[in-house]
């Protein structure tokens, strides 16, 4: 039996509904171990519960039913707050266990061996996170440089081994400031090399941030290796126009990769929310889906991208879980 592990408990995958695969609801990069991170852009920070709930409501009104929250320990994840948001906004929320870039790792992680890094993740998926019994339903690895190396590689291997023990899917942060130095525009293939060496099925790996500096040839290589290609900064026009993203998604659909696509917006700053005139969490549903329809995506295809794929990808075996949520 498979379930999706949300902050309010386990649910059947087909109860997930329309899902945003990569968002932040509660985060604060002011808490990163390196106080100067990030150096050149506004820190990601969402710390207003009422505001976030109000911003999620338009997502729900547009048909959205689930948000995958990818903040991890080290920069403000709080699964109890996520549970409160889930209750108040009426959407499922999946919390994430994992390791973000080196500058934001939890204090213990920098010098920990892979086994300790792995056990911390397994505990968050099977026992509970942030001092609660609320469990995470996804694993995450990240890279901050052009090469996956050092502590970030150790964390990635720990994520792979935690995946084997829990069955939770893996999402990846593939870019940061090094994106223009990486052939193809993101480190997706480097992640796949490490995960495949750790015997992880690529179908359980989400390559994130594929739409920041895209090259459709690389995206197709990722899909052909079996990984999930995630367009998750939709609406961020400083990276790419949504029209271009829609062209790329349509191109991947034409090449037969509908089962390998996820969509999301990666909201992580108040300036990106409706309250400040930003596109908000509902942008994919209200603005991007029409662009896909204009390029020939039919209802069945959209259902696959927004409902079927998330239900399959974020499902994990129920029998891998030691406890149930309180």
Partner 1 sequence: MLLDPIPPVRVAPERNAVLLLDVQRAFTSRCHGLGAAQQARGIAREFDEYHAMVDAALPGIARLLSVARGCGALVVHALLARDAPDSPLSLQWRAAGIALPSASALDAELSVPPASQDHVFARGAHSPFSAPGLLPLLRARGIRRVMLGGMMAGATVAPAARELADRDFAVVVLNDATASETMEWHATLMQGLLGGLIRVQSTDDAIEMLEGTRT
d(CA 36, CA 51): 26
Identify the bridge partners of residue 67 per DSSP, sorted by sequence position: 20, 93
Residues that bind partner 1 (CB under 8 A): 214-217, 219, 240-241, 243-244, 247-248, 251
Q: Kindly state the smallest distance separating residue 252's Cβ from partner 1, in Å.
A: 9
Whole-Å CA distances, 30 to 27, 36, 49, 103, 196: 9, 9, 17, 11, 34
Q: Which C-beta is closer to partner 1: that of 118 or that of 232?
A: 232
User: Do the bridges between strand 64-69 and strand 18-23 make them parallel or antiparallel, or are there none, so unpaired?
Assistant: parallel
Q: Kindly state the smallest distance separating residue 215's Cβ from partner 1, in Å.
A: 4
Identify the bridge partners of residue 45 per DSSP, sorted by sequence position: 28, 269
Q: Kindly state the smallest distance separating residue 181's Cβ from partner 1, in Å.
A: 10
Q: Kindly state the smallest distance separating residue 244's Cβ from partner 1, in Å.
A: 5
Q: Which C-beta is closer to partner 1: that of 83 or that of 248?
A: 248
Q: Kindly state the smallest distance separating residue 214's Cβ from partner 1, in Å.
A: 6
Q: Which C-beta is closer to partner 1: that of 12 or that of 241?
A: 241
Residue 110 has φ and ψ, to the nearest 5°, of -60, -40
Q: Which C-beta is closer to partner 1: that of 11 or that of 246?
A: 246
d(CA 228, CA 250): 15
Q: Kindly state the smallest distance separating residue 235's Cβ from partner 1, in Å.
A: 15
Whether a cis peptide bond, with omega within 30° of 0, leads into 38 is yes
Q: Kindly state the smallest distance separating residue 312's Cβ from partner 1, in Å.
A: 26
User: Do the bridges between strand 205-207 and strand 64-69 make them parallel or antiparallel, or are there none, so unpaired?
Assistant: unpaired
Q: Kindly state the smallest distance separating residue 72's Cβ from partner 1, in Å.
A: 30
d(CA 158, CA 162): 6
Q: Which C-beta is closer to partner 1: that of 252 or that of 315?
A: 252
Q: Which C-beta is closer to partner 1: that of 76 or that of 235?
A: 235
Element (H, E) at 68: strand 64-69
Beta-carbon contacts of 160 under 8 Å, excluding residues fewer than 6 positions away, are 170, 194, 195, 198, 199, 200
Q: Are 241 and 12 in contact (CB under 8 A)?
A: no
Residue 211: both structure tokens together: 């739409």
Q: Which C-beta is closer to partner 1: that of 31 or that of 239?
A: 239
User: Do the bridges between strand 170-173 and strand 45-46 make them parallel or antiparallel, or are there none, so unpaired?
Assistant: unpaired
Q: Which C-beta is closer to partner 1: that of 54 or that of 216?
A: 216
Q: Give the N- to C-terminal CA distance of the chain in Å, as an integer.
A: 21
How many whole angstroms from its chain centre is CA 266?
A: 8
């Amino acid at each position: 039996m498979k379930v999706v592990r949300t902050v309010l408990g386990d649910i059947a995958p087909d109860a997930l509904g329309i899902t945003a695969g990569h968002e932040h609801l509660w985060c604060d990069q002011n808490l990163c171990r390196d106080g100067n991170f990030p150096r050149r852009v506004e820190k990601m920070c969402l710390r207003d519960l009422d505001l976030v709930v109000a911003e999620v409501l338009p997502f729900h009104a547009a048909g959205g039913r689930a948000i995958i929250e990818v903040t991890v320990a080290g920069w403000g994840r709080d699964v109890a707050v996520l549970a409160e948001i889930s209750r108040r906004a009426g959407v499922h929320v999946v919390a994430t266990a994992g390791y973000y870039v080196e500058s934001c790792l939890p204090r213990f992680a920098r010098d920990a061996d892979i086994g300790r890094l792995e056990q911390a993740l397994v505990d968050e998926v099977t026992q509970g996170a942030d001092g609660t019994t609320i469990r995470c339903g996804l694993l995450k690895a990240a890279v901050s440089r052009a090469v996956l190396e050092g502590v970030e590689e150790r964390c990635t291997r720990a994520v792979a081994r935690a995946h084997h023990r829990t069955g939770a899917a893996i999402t990846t942060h593939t870019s940061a400031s090094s994106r223009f130095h990486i052939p193809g525009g993101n480190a997706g293939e480097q992640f796949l090399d490490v995960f495949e060496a750790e015997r992880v099925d690529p179908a359980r790996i989400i390559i994130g941030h594929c739409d920041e500096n895209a090259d459709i040839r690389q995206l197709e290589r990722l899909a052909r290796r079996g990984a999930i290609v995630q367009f998750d900064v939709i609406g961020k026009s400083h990276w790419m126009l949504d029209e271009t993203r829609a062209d790329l998604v349509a191109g991947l659909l034409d090449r037969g990769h509908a089962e390998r696509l996820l969509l999301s917006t990666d909201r992580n700053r108040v300036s990106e929310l409706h309250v400040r005139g930003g596109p908000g969490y509902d942008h994919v549903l209200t603005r991007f889906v029409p662009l896909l329809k204009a390029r020939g995506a039919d209802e069945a295809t959209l259902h696959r991208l927004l409902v079927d794929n998330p239900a399959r990808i974020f499902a994990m075996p129920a029998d891998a879980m030691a406890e149930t949520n309180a």
